[in-house]
Structure 1
Amino acid sequence: MSQPPGPNPYDPQPYQPYGGHGLPPAPPPDHPQATTVLILGILGVSLCQVLAPFAWVMGGRVRKEIEASRGTVGGSQMVTIGWVLGIVGSCLLLLGLAFVVLYVIFIVILIGSSA
C-alpha cells in the first residue's frame, strides 16, 4: 500500500486564530482606576480606615464599568480585591466609631454619677 503524499510546503498555511504564530491575544488594558481602587482598599484596611468607603464606592462603580466593557477593559481582579478591602475597612471604621461612642457614653455616665 502506498501512503498519501505529505503536505506541500507551498500550500497556504491554515488560519491562525490568535493573530499569527500561535500566540494568545494580548490581555486588554486595565481600567485606569483599577490600581487606585486597590491602593485605597489596602490603605483603608491597614492604615487609615477613612479611605475605605472611597475604595468601596469607587470599586463598585469601576466593577460595573469593567463588566459593561464586555472584555475590552481589564483589571477586574484588582478592582474586586480593592472593593472587598474597602468593605472590610468600612466595617472596621464603623466598629471603631461604635467603640468611641460607647466609651464617651461610659465616661459621661461615670462623671455624672460621681458629681
Structure 2
Amino acid sequence: MSYSEPPPPPPQYGAPVPPAGGVPQKNNGKAIWSLVLGIVSVVCGCSILAGIPAIILGNMAKKEIDAGQGTGRGMAQAGYILGIIGVVLGVLWIILYATGVLEFSGSASTS
C-alpha cells in the first residue's frame, strides 16, 4: 500500500439520486379483483357466482399485462386458476345435490 496516493473523495451530500426507470408500474386492478373473486369462489359458498367473473377478469388482466398495462401477472393467473377450481366445485356440488347424494332438510337437528 502506498501512502503517496490521496484518499478517495467523501460521498456527496444532497438529494438522493432517483432510481433509474422512472415511476414503477401499478398492479392491474383486474388482476387484484380476479384474485379476490377466485379466493371467494373457493373459500365461501358462492363458487359459481364468484368463479366465473374471476376467470373472465383473470383472462382480461393477463392480456392487459402482456400489453404493458400494469403488473400482477401472478395474481391474475392465481385468480384464473382459483376461479376454475371454484366453478368445478360448484358444478360438482350441483351434480351431487341433483343426484340425491347431498340432501339439505333445512332443519338444525342432527338426530
Q: Shared fold by TM > 0.5? A: yes
Contact 2:31 2:57 (C-alpha < 8 Å) held by counterparts: no
Structure 2 length normalisation: TM-score?
A: 0.64
CA RMSD of aligned residues (A): 3.1
Q: How many residues align?
A: 94
**Cα deviations across residues 7-61 of structure 1 (Å, max 9, x unaligned)?**
899xxxxxx9x52xxxx86541111222211110010013311211110121111
5+ residue gaps, structure 1: 10-15, 105-115
Helix, strand or coil: the match of 1:33?
helix
Structure 1 position 31 matched with structure 2 position 33: no
Give the residue type in structure 2 aligned to 1:66.
Answer: I
Between Structure 1 and Structure 2, whose CA radius of gyration is higher?
A: 1
1:102 to 84, 96, 99: 99
State the percentage of identical aligned residues.
Answer: 31
- Runs of 4+ deviating beyond 6 Å: 4-9
| Alpha-carbon distance in 1 for matches of 2:24, 2:92 | 40
Structure having the higher helix fraction is 1
Structure 1 length normalisation: TM-score?
A: 0.63
2:46 to 45, 48, 52: 48
